[in-house]
A and B are shown apart, each in its own frame.
Chain A
Amino acid sequence: MGSASPQFLAYAFAVILVFNFSRSVAWRQFALLAASVGFLGFFSLHPLAFLPLAAFLAYGFASLRLMQAKKANLYAPLLLLGIVAFMWLKKYSFIPAVLFLPHPYLTLGLSYIFFRALHLIIDARNGDLPPDISLLSYLNYMLNFTTLVSGPIQRYEDFAAMQLAPVPLPLNLLVAGEALERIIVGFFKVNVLSLFLSMIQASALNSLHDNGPAGARILNGVIIAAIYPFYLYCNFSGYIDIVIGIARFLRIQLPENFNRPFASDNFITFWSRWHITLSTWLKTYVYNPLLIVTMRRWPSPAAEPFLGVLAFFVTFFLIGVWHGQTSVFIFFGVLQGLGMSVTKLYQVLMAKWIGRKRYRELARNGLYNVATRGLTFTWYAFTSLWFWSNWKQLDALARTFHPGEIAWVWLLIFVGSSVILALWEAMRGWLLSFQFQGQPLLLSRYIRTAANTALVVISIGTMSLLNAPPPDIVYKVF
């Protein structure tokens, strides 16, 4: 079952009907767990395939209980055990293959279960969690089928506050309408926009010939590199829209994971708007502790900004490493870390050289913003090459272009993205400037009703006409 397919939606709506049969906490917990277990059943029916996942869940629950029982001496070994077990089950390439389990097993959602497990262990040790986390609540938090596949990563306290509340979140007509709107928009993003964008990129890749004219090759290079970030955004944020909408029908409010990332004018802002819950998790559990530890080790105010640069690099290097099991993702991590740390270093040095006030003024300059927005997009598009391809494909791509052509490709992407994103921002601002009853006309429920109806018709029409299987979610494999 595709993660954003009509079948998934049909399953989710069946669950919504059953879930809302009763408002009692017990019923809601039982219904959600049954729905999550049922969802897993779509991916395998072989009991052996679930054993590693079950063992990892058992590890998480046992560790949580041990931390709540104040067994502080087990804290580091348990964290280490979790990290090693995760890498082993995900078959990281540096681990000898002979050590891997011989039979096929399910790793669906393991990465997100891993984050949730570490969050529970760390916060339980710090006493930040409620003391009475039952096995049922734990399993519901870990396996919630709306967040299992690709997040978003919700904190346990936020989840429990809604799931275990005696009075569930209200579900009136307006809320239902907004939830449905999220599902429709997400479905359109995944099944229409991302599908077309992937087709455009695939077509450009197919028409990339060594002996073609240089102009056509450069244009194809621009399309190949620049389309992917938009494709990934539509694919991933569309899926998140869908699960946020579904979860709201299940009386759970999931955190947002995207906030117009391509409007970012620097790479640090970009990562605070892109996969927000992952970057927030890493900031909470990697960046902040690392910064504190290094500041204690080198307690100099002058060194503090540079320690931040270092902490940024390590944190976002880990983001890259988390994404995949091969060396290409290590390089992806290095590039993410470089993007973040160089941006931070630039901010520190500019504030030092021209003064904070003048730097703030510069950062507010419209033309400067246009260029930095384009640069941020270009850097992300460049680093994405190590996200969607492997070394062999990268080698083939590099051989296709002459060095001068590669320079042209990135120059065109920088100029093009600067102009297009600036125009987009300007048009968005202009459209939102029209007011109706104290809010932008474009956001009135009448316009939104018409727009969402159109999206439904276009989605159904496109899916019927193309007759292609719905695209799967890129982040499902992580």
Chain B
Amino acid sequence: MFQKSDLDELFNDLEGSHGATEDYDRLLKQTHLAIALFDAKKPLDDQFDPIVVELVAKHQPGG
């Protein structure tokens, strides 16, 4: 399960790379949902942006 430190790193990463883009809101929404599904041990389907999938994989606990 994502802990605060994992979340801080992930969201800092997302903000740094996409915070100034028009896509940020959409990516942030998807990222929160992706984390919730990861925490619930559910797979991410192909509706998720590859950027989000990559971020979650990069910062996932024990990843």
* A and B: bona fide binding partners: no
